[in-house]
């Protein structure tokens, strides 16, 4: 197989994801700390939710039959026999012709099958109300088990836990939940010109930034990053860090964008284990020199050294990989996107996927996308951009005034 033939983005993604069989094991964490985690197994309800019939409005618990035919012209008069305290079980049963005052969330007394809103009543006497309209059985009532029955599935396996899922688990009394362990990602930066961010660069040197950016992106995607350090463009140093990375679930190595060094990086990755390098170069701008490999079950991704290229390649290949390893679909069902009109022409080569950075703004009530031009080594182009426009490989660019879909940057 010729690994040095450039593949399309879609072919490269498919080849990588098909080769990675590793899935993260389960671990138990406190529900209060589970936001952003993924359920490892289905979560079942231990009890009915809600555990009792409760009111969904402020009003009066009634027997619905006592209100049939009620109107403002001919109200139904009901004797108020009790007020139900919040957080307490009702102690007085409801008899025909009676009502009990109840607040939102209060438990319905025995005999009640509906709640009439306070706005639909009038105080006709100190212990009497006039119902000004009828209510049907079950109206304004949340029935026991209406949310979920005991033993039913609250959440499926593979559900990303947001604030609302955490609230549901807490409501159900589930204080711990089995989630997928975060993928542990080793990050390596290479380059003779790089120095740590806390150092003053000498002439010809620059501060390293990819390691910091990749750590932030890995955390965003549910992973646990570890920066193993900087390596010069030296076989011994790079190989030592790669071998150290084999103790992790994924290895990301950035840098080595020159032809000779890129070939060295690919050759060293190939030494780590089989099947080795799967993809060496992608029909992508920016991000052409991306390397995708698997070594004895550990995915190894070689990202370009230029910051823009590295982040574009990361989003296209590492994000789907980390999602799949956590039991999620590699591609989310939806992405935060907006539709906008281009301010100027954007050129693209047929057969290559181009990712264009754009700035969004409104003019005359319309949303516009202005391309942010700049070389892939200029980090400020990412900071200035609000979103990305992907030009598919079949297109020969876009024209000013075209309506495009913009993926909003997080």
Annotated domain spans of the chain: 9-24+182-325, 29-49+148-180, 54-142, 337-408
CATH of 337-408, one of 1.10.1740.110, 3.40.50.2000, 1.10.540.10, 2.40.340.10: 2.40.340.10
Q: Which fold has domain 54-142?
A: Molybdopterin biosynthesis moeA protein; domain 3 (2.170.190)
The H or E element that residue 242 is part of is helix 235-245
Compute the average pLDDT of residues 41-59.
Answer: 96
The answer to whether the predicted template modeling score (pTM) of the entire model surpasses 0.75 is yes
Q: What are the pLDDT digits (tens) for 314-363?
A: 999 999 999 999 999 999 888 899 999 999 999 998 899 999 999 999 99
User: What CATH class has 9-24+182-325?
Assistant: alpha beta
Please tell me the predicted confidence (pLDDT) of residue 379. Answer: 80
Q: What are the pLDDT digits (tens) for 194-249?
A: 888 889 999 999 899 999 999 999 999 999 999 999 999 899 999 999 999 999 99
Please tell me the predicted confidence (pLDDT) of residue 376. Answer: 62
Residue 256 banded pLDDT, cuts 50, 70, 90: low
Q: What is the residue-wise DSSP string for 292-326?
A: EEEETTEEEEEE-SSHHHHHHHIIIIIHHHHHHHT
| Superfamily designation of domain 29-49+148-180 | Molybdopterin biosynthesis moea protein, domain 2 (3.90.105.10)
Residue in this structure with the two tokens 């102690």, named with its chain if needed: 91
Beta strand 206-207 with 194-195 is parallel
Phi, psi of 208 (to 5 degrees): -75, 135
What's the rounded Cα separation, in Å, for the pair 79 and 130? 9
């Amino acid at each position: 197989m010729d690994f040095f033939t450039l593949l399309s983005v879609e072919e490269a993604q498919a080849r990588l994801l098909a080769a990675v069989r590793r899935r993260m094991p389960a671990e138990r964490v406190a529900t209060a700390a589970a936001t952003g985690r993924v359920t490892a197994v289905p979560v079942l309800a231990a009890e009915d939710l809600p555990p009792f019939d409760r009111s969904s409005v402020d009003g009066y618990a009634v027997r619905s039959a006592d209100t049939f035919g009620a109107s403002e012209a001919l109200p139904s008069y009901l004797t108020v026999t009790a007020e139900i305290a919040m957080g307490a079980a009702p102690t007085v049963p409801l008899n025909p012709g009676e009502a009990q005052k109840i607040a939102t969330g209060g438990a319905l007394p025995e005999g009640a099958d509906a709640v009439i809103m306070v706005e639909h009543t009038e105080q006709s006497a100190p212990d009497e109300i006039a119902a000004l309209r009828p209510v049907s059985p079950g109206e304004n009532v949340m029935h026991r088990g209406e949310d979920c029955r005991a033993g039913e599935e609250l959440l499926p396996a593979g559900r990303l836990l947001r604030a609302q899922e955490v609230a549901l688990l807490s409501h159900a009394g589930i204080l711990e939940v089995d989630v997928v362990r975060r993928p542990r990602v080793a990050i390596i930066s290479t380059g003779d010109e790089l120095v740590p961010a806390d150092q003053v660069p000498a002439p010809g040197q620059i501060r390293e930034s990819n390691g910091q950016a990749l750590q932030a992106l890995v955390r965003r995607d549910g992973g646990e990053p570890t920066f193993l350090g900087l390596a010069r463009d030296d076989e011994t140093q790079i190989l030592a860090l790669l071998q150290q990375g084999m103790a992790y679930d994924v290895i990301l190595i950035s840098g080595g964008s020159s032809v000779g060094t890129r070939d060295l990086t690919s050759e060293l990755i190939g030494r780590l284990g089989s099947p080795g390098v799967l993809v060496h170069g992608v029909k992508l701008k920016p991000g052409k020199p991306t390397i995708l490999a698997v070594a004895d079950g550990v995915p190894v991704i070689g990202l370009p050294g230029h910051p823009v290229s590295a982040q574009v390649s990361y989003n296209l290949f590492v994000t789907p990989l980390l999602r799949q390893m956590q039991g999620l679909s590699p591609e989310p069902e939806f992405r935060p996107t907006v539709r906008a009109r281009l301010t100027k022409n954007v050129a693209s080569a047929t057969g290559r996927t181009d990712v264009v950075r754009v700035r969004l703004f409104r003019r005359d009530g319309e949303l516009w996308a202005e391309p942010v031009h700049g070389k892939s080594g200029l980090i400020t182009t990412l900071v200035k951009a609000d979103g990305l426009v992907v030009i598919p490989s079949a297109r020969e660019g876009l024209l000013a005034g075209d309506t495009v879909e913009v993926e909003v940057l997080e």
